Amino acid sequence: MTRRSVSRRALRAARLPVFAVAAALSAVTVLAAESDSGESIISARVKEIFDFNRNGVVKIQSTDSHGHIEGTGFYADSSGTIYTGLDVIGDGSNITVIQGMRKLPARLEIADPRTGIAIIKVDTTTPFLPLGDSSKTDAYTPLVTIGYPYDKPAVWSSGLVAGLEKEYLSRYFHTTHIRAKLPVQPGFGGAPVLNLRGEVIGIVVAGVDENNGCFILPINAAEKVRTDFDRFHQLRPGWVGISVEPASDNSLPSTARITELQPDAPATRAGVQKGDLLLRVGDIAIHAPEDIFDASFFLTAGDETTVTVLRDGTEQKFTVRAAENPSSPTVTDESDQPEHSILTLETSSTMPPAGR
């Protein structure tokens, strides 16, 4: 065995530990990355959503007879349209939007006590949050919200959708709300709620369970309010004149049996009859009497919709042009400017007193 061959063998032997250490480090890195990847992805995504959208989320200041009010709002388009909570706007006369270091005066466009939201506007070009489709939201959907708690800067909170609710404490919503296990704090009223794609799917309207959870108005419902305002400069809830009660036969596709039709109401004129089972109104399927609230909410006075009923075992469709409800809601223009309107409902509501 020559000296050269001995040195080559020694060199090879020296390489092996180096290679082994490198391989071990790589393996440890890959394993560590894989085991932590789920949490890291969610954390990174929440941070991305917060960083990307925080400039579109603003603090709202206003006043009422009790003093100063602060809450959260967010830009829904680049022309300065802001969604916020109904009670964030105070009496609607002195609203200021704080966007970073800027203070912008805002005017009330519409306030909707049915949903607990308001739309205000600043006259400038603004960043805005992308709006999603809340109808695709289901239980366990991850959520992120951004709001201004107390006198603090914007912070985020994250959680999951717990369910979709049609009522709260045995009283019905005007439209289905999202119930979320999403911690919120005072000042989060009107805050946007986003999915992990970074799209707004709702607006925080109330904190429950000691603020460890909240109720969220779906953005599709908020957009219905905004569309009404854009089209008519007021809310235009539709009415067809149908009353339903639960049917006793649970084997039927719907338990919403029509028990009363208002004389000369749109549904009566279209041919809907007492005793029909209500199956569908427009795009909204009716399985139970409480489903009519969603159907009613998305009706617009003056628009046509299709009412599908089950009569004598066969489905029948009727085209109905919704009208304004002749009794319940009255639209009151509380401002000198015609586009500033506030809808006042005569039905008894559980609007919390001052709520602040």
Partner 1 sequence: MSEDLSPIQKLIRLKRYEQPPEDYFEDFLLEFQRRQRAEMLQRPAWQIMWERANLWLEGFRVPAFAYASILVTALGITGFMMNSQSGVTAAIANNSSSNPAAAANVASTGPVAGSSVAQVSTAPHSYVLEKRPVSYDAPFSF
Q: Restricting to residues 88-147, name those near partner 1 by CB under 8 A.
A: 88, 113-116
Contact 173, 167 (CB under 8 A): yes
Choose one: 23-31, 221-229, 311-319, 332-340; the region binding partner 1 (CB under 8 A): 23-31
What is the DSSP code string of 20-61? HHHHHHHHHHHHHHHHHHHHHHHHHHHHHHHHHHGGGEEEEE
Stretch that binds partner 1, among 128-136, 224-232, 238-246, 310-318 (CB under 8 A): 238-246
Which of 211, 234, 268, 316 touches partner 1 (CB under 8 A)? 211
- The count of chain residues that interact with partner 1, using the rule CB under 8 A, is 101
Task: Establish if 13 lies at the interface with partner 1 (CB under 8 A).
Answer: yes
Phi and psi at residue 141, to the nearest 5°: -65, 125
Chosen residue from 6, 10, 21, 139 binding partner 1 by CB under 8 A? 21
Name which position in 56, 80, 132, 189 contacts partner 1 (CB under 8 A).
189
CB of 203 to partner 1, least distance (A): 11
| Residue 6 interacts with partner 1 (CB under 8 A): yes or no | no
Judge whether 154 and 148 are in contact, CB under 8 Å. yes
Asked if 204 interacts with partner 1 (CB under 8 A), we say: yes
Asked if 29 interacts with partner 1 (CB under 8 A), we say yes
Cβ neighbours of residue 213 closer than 8 Å, sequence gap 6 or more: 159, 162, 179, 180, 181, 182, 183, 207
Give CA–CA dist 152/134, Å, rounded.
Answer: 29
Site mask, partner 1, residues 282-311, x = CB under 8 A? -------xx-xx-xx--x------------
By CB under 8 A, name the one of 106, 242, 270, 342 that touches partner 1: 242
Q: Does 245 bind partner 1 (CB under 8 A)?
A: yes
- By CB under 8 A, is residue 269 in contact with partner 1? no
Residue 275, phi then psi, degrees to nearest 5: 100, -20
Q: Is 215 in the site for partner 1 (CB under 8 A)?
A: yes
Q: DSSP of 227-255, one letter per residue? A: HHHHHHSS--BEE--EEEEE-S-TTSS--
